[in-house]
Amino acid sequence: MKIMDSFGVGGSFTEYYAMDFKDDVVRVGHVGPGHIKIAAGKTKVRSLTVYYGKECKALSVEMAVMHGLVKLLSVVETKDGLMLLVAEGESVVGPILEIVGSLKYYT
Condensed to tens digits (0 to 9), the pLDDT of residues 49-94 reads: 776 667 777 777 777 788 899 888 888 899 999 999 898 888 888 7
Max Cα–Cα distance, the chain, nearest Å = 44
Q: Which letter does DSSP use for residue 103 in this model?
A: -
Mean of all residue pLDDT scores within the chain = 77
* Residue predicted with more confidence, 18 or 6: 6
- 8 Å CB contact between 35 and 12: yes
Question: What is the distance between the terminal CA atoms of the chain, rounded to a whole angstrom?
Answer: 31
pTM for this predicted structure:
0.58
What is the reported pLDDT for 23? 80
97 confidence band (pLDDT: 50, 70, 90)? low
Domain segments of the chain as ranges: 1-40+64-98
- Report the SS3 class of residue 6: helix
- 8 Å CB contact between 89 and 66: no
* Closest listed residue to residue 13, CA positions, set 26, 3, 25, 22: 3
* Residue predicted with more confidence, 26 or 22: 22
Residue 12: half-sphere exposure toward Cβ, Cα within 13 Å = 22
